[in-house]
């Protein structure tokens, strides 16, 4: 499969993993990275959310690659892995973290220090609102630790999670372009989370020097629109078992059978899983119990610890 992309064009820096067993994919990616020419990027294509596979690469090569994940169509994901450039040892920790953001790829070395110097840190605990809906928030946010979500709903309405925002991902980009108020809440999803706020005027000034930054921020918005469309379509069309399975897939790892899930799942509550699936806690709890009875997941001390990625994907296909 190495060197064959979705259009059939030969490319030694691209692997099409679709149709291959999940447990074979980490080895293929690892071997492709080992053969990659110095300074070149690798792109792999999958038919499912590839967070587990990306996590394996990061686990084996921490802070070595900038990883950009794009949905390009229904059932087609492209993940690009680009070696980080620059003198990492000489950067301050925040500048080093920002250098890992895909949207900032191509910026010169001093710009990361410039961004870090302007950044305003903020820390929150699970359930805390970091950005209120319809509020003035003149920043682009970057998650540096933990997970936050974009959510709709208030105290009197059922909360719906539109999408998760992971470490080194951005939020507040649409508001940066139209200078409008925040059109959803940004809420801490993990036990704790850390973000930094980059002032609009600083980002605008840097974008005037590096026009590719504006293009990259446009890609962030386009990807979020695809993400929200996928989420709302699933919440409106899929049965509850498939919706819960879909929420869990990103936390499943690319090994055979019931294996340890991504560590982040251990702190996710049933209420949060329900909100991500567009339902309520009681319904989600019954669906989770059903999945456990089918040996698709296993709980320990009330939390989901083990997942079978292949069975999750088969269930989604069966019920879609």
| 33, 60: one domain | yes
Question: 305 and 267: one domain?
Answer: yes
pLDDT tier at 43 (50, 70, 90 boundaries)? very high
User: What does the pLDDT average to over 218-239?
Assistant: 90
Q: Is 180 helix (H, G, I), strand (E, B) or coil?
A: coil
In terms of domains, do 100 and 220 share one?
Answer: yes
Say if residue 160 is in the same domain as residue 207. Answer: yes
- Ranked by mean pLDDT, the top range of 140-154, 199-213, 224-238 is 199-213
Q: In Å, how far from its chain's centre is CA 262?
A: 13
- Say if residue 257 is in the same domain as residue 143: no
Contact 163, 174 (CB under 8 A): no
- Taking alpha carbons only, the member of 225, 234, 252, 238 closest to residue 312 is 252
| 291 in the same domain as 221 | no
In the listed set 181, 213, 235, which residue is the last one of a domain according to the structure? 235
φ/ψ of residue 105, rounded to 5: -60, 135
d(CA 254, CA 289): 23
Q: What is the CATH number of the domain that holds 32?
A: 3.30.110.40
Are 77 and 46 in contact by the 8 Å Cβ rule? The answer is yes
Strands 185-188 and 148-152: antiparallel
Q: Which of 33, 61, 83 is the last residue of a domain?
A: 83
Residues 75 and 111 grouped into a single domain = no
38 contacts: CB under 8 Å, gap ≥ 6 = none
Alpha-carbon gap, residue 99 to 114, rounded angstroms: 12
**Domain of residue 119, CATH code:** 2.60.120.10
- Mean pLDDT over 39-45 rounds to 89
What's the pLDDT score for residue 2? Answer: 39
User: Are 108 and 194 within one domain?
Assistant: yes
CA nearest neighbour of 193 among 106, 89, 122, 291: 122
Domain boundary at 50, 65, 83, which? 83
- What's the pLDDT tens digit per position in 197-227? 999 999 999 999 999 999 999 999 999 999 8
Helix (H, G, I), strand (E, B) or coil at 151: strand
CATH of the domain at 269: 1.10.10.10
When divided into structural domains, the chain yields a total of 3
Per DSSP, 255 falls in state S
Q: Can you give the pLDDT at residue 266?
A: 86
Residue 25 lies in domain:
2-83
Cα separation, 263 vs 41, in Å, equals 28
User: 247 Cβ partners below 8 Å, 6+ apart?
Assistant: 273, 276, 277
pLDDT, residue 23, reads 87
Window from 12-21, 113-122, 217-226, 286-295 with minimum mean pLDDT: 12-21
**Do residues 231 and 92 both lie within one domain?**
yes
Domain shared by 102 and 220, yes or no = yes
- What per-residue confidence (pLDDT) applies to 12? 55
**Stretch 165-182: mean pLDDT:** 96
User: What is the mean pLDDT of the segment spanning 60-70?
Assistant: 86
Q: Are residues 46 and 96 in the same domain?
A: no
Q: 96 and 64 in one domain? A: no
Q: How far apart are CA 202 and CA 117, in angstroms?
A: 10
For residues 30-50, average pLDDT: 87
292 within 8 A of 311, measured Cβ to Cβ: no
Average pLDDT over residues 226-245: 90
Task: Tell me: pLDDT of 44 over 80.
Answer: yes
Geometric angle at alpha carbon 277, from 100 and 273, rounded to 5°: 70
């Amino acid at each position: 499969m190495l060197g064959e992309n979705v259009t059939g064009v030969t490319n030694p820096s691209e692997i099409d993993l679709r149709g291959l067993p999940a447990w074979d994919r980490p080895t293929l990616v690892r071997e492709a990275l080992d053969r990659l020419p110095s300074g070149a990027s690798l792109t792999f294509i999958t038919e499912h959310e590839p967070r587990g596979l990306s996590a394996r690469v990061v686990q084996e090569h921490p802070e070595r690659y900038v990883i950009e994940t794009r949905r390009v169509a229904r059932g087609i994901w492209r993940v690009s892995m680009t070696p980080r450039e620059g003198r990492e040892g000489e950067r301050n920790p925040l500048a080093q973290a920002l250098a890992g953001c895909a949207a900032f790829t191509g910026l010169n070395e001093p710009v990361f220090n410039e961004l870090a110097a302007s950044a305003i840190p903020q820390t929150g605990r699970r359930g805390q609102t970091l950005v209120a809906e319809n509020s003035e928030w003149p920043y682009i946010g970057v998650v540096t630790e933990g997970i936050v979500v974009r959510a709709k709903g208030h105290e009197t309405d059922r909360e719906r999670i539109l999408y998760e925002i992971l470490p080194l991902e951005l939020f507040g980009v649409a508001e940066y372009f139209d200078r409008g108020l925040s059109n959803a809440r940004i809420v801490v999803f993990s036990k704790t989370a850390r973000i930094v706020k980059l002032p609009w005027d600083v980002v605008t000034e840097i974008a005037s020097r590096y026009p590719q930054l504006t293009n990259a921020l446009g890609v962030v918005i386009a990807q979020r629109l695809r993400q929200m469309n996928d989420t709302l379509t699933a919440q409106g069309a899929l049965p509850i078992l498939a919706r819960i399975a879909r929420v869990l897939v990103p936390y499943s790892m690319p090994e055979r059978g019931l294996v340890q899930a991504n560590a982040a799942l251990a702190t996710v509550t049933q209420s949060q899983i329900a909100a991500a699936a567009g339902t309520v806690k009681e319904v989600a709890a019954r669906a989770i119990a059903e999945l456990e009875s089918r040996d698709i997941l296993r709980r320990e001390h009330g939390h989901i610890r083990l997942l079978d990625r292949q069975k999750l994907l088969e269930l989604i296909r069966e019920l879609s």
